Structure 1
Amino acid sequence: MSGLTATPSGMRPADPVMWPDGKTSAASFSFDVDAESVVLADAPGAASRMSVMSHQAYGPLTGLPRLLRILERLDVRSTFFVPGYTAHRHPDAIRSIVDAGHEIAHHGYLHEPLIDVDPRTEADILDRGLDALQEVAGVRPVGYRAPMWELTYNSPRLLAERGFLYDSSLMDADVPYELAITAEESIVEIPVHWGLDDWEQYCYLPGISGSGLIETPAKAIELWRAEFEALRKDGGCFVHTSHPFLSGRPGRAAALEEFVEYVAGQEDVWLAPLGDIARHVRGLGLGPRHIPRP
């Protein structure tokens, strides 16, 4: 454990992580296969907007196959976070992820926002998503990412009760750590950040999301590469998040391919799916960290 003294609240910085095989940092490219769910959860009336629905369906129908081809060419394994509704609506697309050797992880059922959701409702959403992924893909995921990265203070306990190994929703560290649940129990947390998400760069849906400013792939890659290089220097864990309906577009996918190839080519960086990173961290025996409610 770190020698740093905890604050009166019990909070302390994350401990440094020793990476495998002499690597000095880690990286992972993850994909949220939201499709229609992310819109329907917040704006159910959008179901009648055929153009909006087609914008979202581009992900599993066109963007996902393109991204899978890129990952195959580069021999990179990734983690795909899948809402249960996406699995039910696009079963062949989700099975293609499994067939390509990638990790499937949990991302709600209908990408439900969890702000102010009671524990019983949250548990029901988790179980419904688990059932959908098992039914469609034959997978019992070990990883979870809260829709909109809005973890609740009940989430870690609910995840542990269902046998999850890790979550990837919080933003308080540059490396993974053990997130305390009880004195004896914890779950691995692999932090993320809005600056490493393609939504803020590319997403625009009139009346639903975005300001109308759609960035160029060159600008997005410049931002992500700067963060990657800084985390690499610090021994951190770079976790990038893409959405197939956004980064699966041809010009964006081409730029992302060049960036993934660059990261994969750095001999000091361990590039791996999030599940592999979580299993490595669990084996380090890190002391759990507390994030108490204010």
Structure 2
Amino acid sequence: MDFSLLLNAIIAGLLLGGFYAAVTVGISISFGMLDVVNIAHPAFIILGSYIAYIVNANFGVDPIVVSIVALPAFYLLGAGIYQIFYVSFEKRGQDSLRGLAFFFGLLFVTEVVLVLVFGVDYRSVDASYIGASLRLGPLEFPYRMLVPCVTSLIMFAGLQIFLGRTFIGRAVMAVSQDPLALRLMAVDPTRIKRIAFGISIATASLAGACLIIIQPVIPSVGRDYIGRIFAICVLGGLGSLPGTLIAALLLGVIESITSTFYGPSWAPAVSFGILLLTLAVRPSGLLGR
């Protein structure tokens, strides 16, 4: 076995895993902490990609910068969507299947709108670092993968600090476990959930910019990540951000090594096989409670 080829495959896998973490963190918050199965999350990631594309194509602004500026708008969008979901389903005590149908509908409506506006042609962005690589001896770090990975790690660090060291952050982690305790502390669980869901959608802005840096996008490409997103969320342990990050890096490395030595078609089978094996041994996931 070529040792340098293996090292480069591991590096590529870690960088890919960093991107997977960025696209999964929103689901980890909504599904793992709020018990809201937002199957439409990939559609908001693609929306973030197209916003980055529009501004980059017209003004030449870096996609990451665009996504940071768009964070408040995505947060408000998420808060509004949760309010509709709450009034229509949670407040009425509707079963989770109807809520899931709501998000499925949101997924396809968003895709159809993007198709009508942008068509089905692939769209990409332009940045000085796309196509370049950092080389350290035999090791290669493509910037189109390195920049999204670093962006994802910074986002994870910021969210972990927010959740662990602020009152609202701790309330978010507690809201699905004991909403009555929050009420006794004069905290409205619905407001906390609205804030948390807004944050989960805001992460889609950064994830969308990372995606369009890595590859060209079309409106339906988000569906390619639905299974992988939920697999990483479950593998890491529902609601555990460190677990989500570890699971994303693990699956990224497994997919990269499998693709390098056995072909890309084997990568999903092997990664999901690892998921099933892990859950058979530890059903709560890697860092689940």
* Bin for the TM-score computed over the shorter chain: under 0.3
| Richer in strand (by share) | 1
Scaled by the length of structure 2, the TM-score of the pair is 0.24
| Richer in helix (by share) | 2
Which structure is richer in relative contact order (CA contacts within 8 A, separation 6 or more)? Answer: 2
Scaled by the length of structure 1, the TM-score of the pair is 0.24
